[in-house]
Amino acid sequence: MNIQRVRSDLVATERVPGLRDKSLRVVEDGSGHLTVALDPVGAKTGDFVITIETSAARYAAGDYAIATDLTIGGIIDHWSEEHWRA
């Protein structure tokens, strides 16, 4: 699992059925690299979150049939930018 920060929402209207209608967020890591994560939790822009990768991401999404390789597992209550920047 990694600590990442939610940068924005992501809208993708045309998508594969395997992604269902799940919410997507753009997340960034400590070095500023952007990826996209599925969000079953309801994170807001600026939240620090825990992300889960690879096939575990599909279990984290609540259903193994969902086609994701990165899922937000939780919102961190207390975290600061100094802790986090690489």
Partner 1 sequence: MKVFRVEGTLVATARIGNLDRHRLLVVQERASSSKQVAVDPVGCKPGDWVIAVGSSAARDAAGSKEYPSDLTIVGIIDYWEEDDPTDDAGTSGGAEAAS
Q: Give me the least distance between CB of 44 and partner 1, in Å please.
A: 19
Strand partners, 3: 50
DSSP label at residue 78? S
Among residues 41, 50, 67, 76, the one that binds partner 1 under rule CB under 8 A? 67
- Interatomic CA distance for residues 8 and 81, integer angstroms: 17
Span between the terminal Cα atoms of the chain, in Å: 16
> Does 83 participate in binding partner 1 (rule CB under 8 A)?
no
Distance CA 23, CA 38 (A): 6
Q: What binding mask, one character per residue, do residues 27-66 give for partner 1 by CB under 8 A, x or -?
A: ------xxxxxx--------------xxx-xx------xx
Among 2, 3, 19, 76, binds partner 1 (CB under 8 A): 19
DSSP 66: S
Residues engaged in binding partner 1 (CB under 8 A): 10-16, 18-19, 24, 26, 33-38, 53-55, 57-58, 65-70
